[in-house]
């Protein structure tokens, strides 16, 4: 059975998507993840209005069941990526650009520029927990999330808009619904979960930034719950992510209601071959269970 899907108008050879931030922004690397790794689409590292160094090291830490990171949205800034955009013009893979800003105006400024580069979709990162001034403030509030989405949508026109949400929102389904009303074309859930680790011998927080975002296997149950709740609340498709590294993980997200599945930390643990492995394992499960299409199992856990 083919794993091809339509996600918010994007034709993907399979439902696996490189999550934003894990592999930087090099055009050559993105091409490799698609061609050699087998990903169905590629999300770029979030792009901001200005050049930003991110947080000092240590900024990524391996925990027992996941990663804790506070890379702090390092970005060359949209104006300093000309070479990369030129290389991406010739691409043969579906490209999702991810953007962030500290205000609605900044989101609009970045989206205007990025839309001219014609990515296949634009993901609006209203959910990063690692910087005080960016992201989180929007994603926990329905009105603020909707304002970012509708303002960016006005700028980018027909380009599909994906709103990336945070599990820190008290009611993520309500945020998703507000984004849908503001004309988002899809929802991405989830970004990392806020966390912290302390070096008890040094008696100090380990991350330079003190707090970070947890990703990987530890957050899969959080992601599954969020996707399940969002699926009930909206009609637009969901890109589910958080702790996916096997075909069974991907099927679990699809049964919760996801149309496509993102992989971030899984690349850190298993390399870019993780996409092909997840697809192979999904096909095996589908065959064993005599499933005819992904549509048949999408949201089936809702009964
Ligand atoms: C090192 C690192 C950097 C990240 N940077 C971004 C980013 O720039 N923008 C964004 O929207 N999400 C970012 N994320 C979050 C991931 O895209 C993803 O939502 C999260 O890690 C959960 O998926 P996973 O468990 O498969 O990693 C980052 C995650 C990690 C681990």
Centre of ligand 1 from the C-alpha of residue 292, in Å? 32
What domains can you pick out in the chain, each with its CATH number?
5-54+74-193+217-302 (3.20.20.70)
And the tokens for 287? 């065959």
Which atom in ligand 1 lies closest to the alpha carbon of residue 265? 27
Whose structure tokens read 């065959």?
Answer: 287
Q: Whose CA is nearest to atom 12 of ligand 1?
A: 20
pLDDT of residue 269: 95
| C-alpha dihedral sign at 159, 44, 55, 170 | positive
Relative to beta strand 41-43, strand 16-18 is parallel
And the tokens for 180? 């849908």
| pLDDT, tens only, 199-220 | 999 999 999 889 999 999 999 9
pLDDT of residue 297: 97
Which atom in ligand 1 lies closest to the alpha carbon of residue 245? 26
* pLDDT tens-digit profile, the chain (303 residues): 799 999 999 999 999 999 999 886 789 999 999 999 999 999 999 998 877 667 777 778 999 999 999 877 667 777 778 888 899 999 999 999 999 998 899 999 999 999 999 999 999 999 876 555 555 679 999 999 999 999 999 999 999 999 999 999 999 999 999 999 999 999 999 999 999 999 999 999 999 889 999 999 999 999 999 999 999 999 999 999 999 999 999 999 999 999 999 999 999 999 999 999 999 999 999 999 999 999 999 999 998
Relative to beta strand 121-125, strand 95-99 is parallel
For residue 106, what are the CA distances in angstroms to 49, 98, 151, 257?
6, 13, 11, 32
For residue 228, what are the CA distances in angstroms to 168, 176, 222, 234, 245?
16, 12, 10, 11, 19
Buried b (16+ CB within 10 A) or exposed e, 29-39: ebbebbeebbb
pLDDT of residue 59: 79
CB of 21 shorter than 6 A to ligand 1: yes
Centre of ligand 1 from the C-alpha of residue 303, in Å? 31
Whose structure tokens read 């949508």?
Answer: 153
Q: Whose CA is nearest to atom 21 of ligand 1?
A: 215
For residue 199, what are the CA distances in angstroms to 62, 71, 131, 136, 195?
13, 19, 22, 26, 14
Establish how many alpha carbons lie within 13 A of residue 259's alpha carbon, considering only the half-sphere containing its beta carbon.
Answer: 23
pLDDT of residue 34: 96
Max Cα–Cα distance, the chain, nearest Å: 56
Are 106 and 79 within 8 A, CB to CB? no
| pLDDT, tens only, 166-190 | 999 999 999 999 999 999 999 999 9
Q: Whose CA is nearest to atom 26 of ligand 1?
A: 264
| pLDDT, tens only, 104-145 | 999 999 999 999 999 999 999 998 765 555 556 799 999 999
pLDDT of residue 70: 85
Evaluate the omega torsion of the peptide bond into residue 99 and state whether it is cis, within 30 degrees of 0.
no
Residue count of the chain = 303
Query: Known catalytic residue: 226?
Result: no
pLDDT of residue 133: 58
Residues 6 or more apart in contact with residue 250 via CB below 8 angstroms = 15, 16, 244, 261, 278, 281, 282
pLDDT of residue 187: 98
Pocket test for ligand 1, best of 114, 163, 192 (most atoms within 8 A of CB): 192
> Is the model's pTM score more than 0.85?
yes
For residue 13, what are the CA distances in angstroms to 20, 38, 44, 165, 290?
19, 9, 18, 25, 21
pLDDT of residue 83: 84
């Amino acid at each position: 059975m083919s794993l091809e899907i339509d996600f918010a108008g994007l034709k993907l050879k399979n439902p696996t998507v490189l999550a934003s931030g894990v592999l930087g922004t090099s055009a050559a690397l993105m091409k490799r993840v698609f061609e050699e790794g087998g990903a169905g689409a590629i999300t770029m590292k979030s792009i901001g209005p200005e050049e930003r160094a991110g947080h000092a090291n240590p900024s990524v830490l391996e925990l027992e069941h996941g990663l804790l990171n506070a890379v702090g949205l390092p970005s060359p800034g949209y104006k300093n990526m000309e070479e990369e955009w030129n290389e991406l013009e010739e691409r043969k893979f579906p490209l999702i650009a991810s953007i962030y800003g500290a205000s609605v105006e900044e989101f609009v400024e970045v989206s205007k520029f990025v839309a001219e580069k014609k990515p296949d979709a634009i993901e609006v990162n209203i959910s990063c927990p690692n910087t005080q001034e960016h992201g989180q403030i929007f994603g926990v509030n329905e009105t603020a999330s909707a304002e970012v989405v509708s303002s960016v949508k006005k700028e980018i026109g027909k380009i599909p808009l994906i709103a990336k949400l945070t599990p820190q929102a008290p009611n993520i389904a309500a945020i998703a619904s507000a984004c849908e009303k503001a004309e988002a074309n899809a929802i991405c859930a989830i970004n990392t979960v806020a966390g912290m680790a302390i070096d008890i011998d040094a008696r100090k927080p380990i991350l330079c930034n003190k707090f970070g975002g947890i990703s990987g296997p530890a957050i899969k149950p959080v992601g599954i719950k969020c996707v399940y709740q969002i699926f009930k609340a909206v009609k637009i498709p969901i890109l589910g992510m958080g702790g996916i590294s096997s075909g069974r993980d991907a099927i679990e997200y699809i049964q919760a209601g996801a149309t496509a599945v993102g992989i971030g930390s899984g690349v850190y643990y298993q390399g870019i071959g993780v996409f092909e492995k997840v697809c192979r394992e999904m096909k095996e499960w589908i065959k064993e269970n005599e499933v005819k299409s992904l549509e048949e199992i999408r949201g089936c856990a809702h009964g």
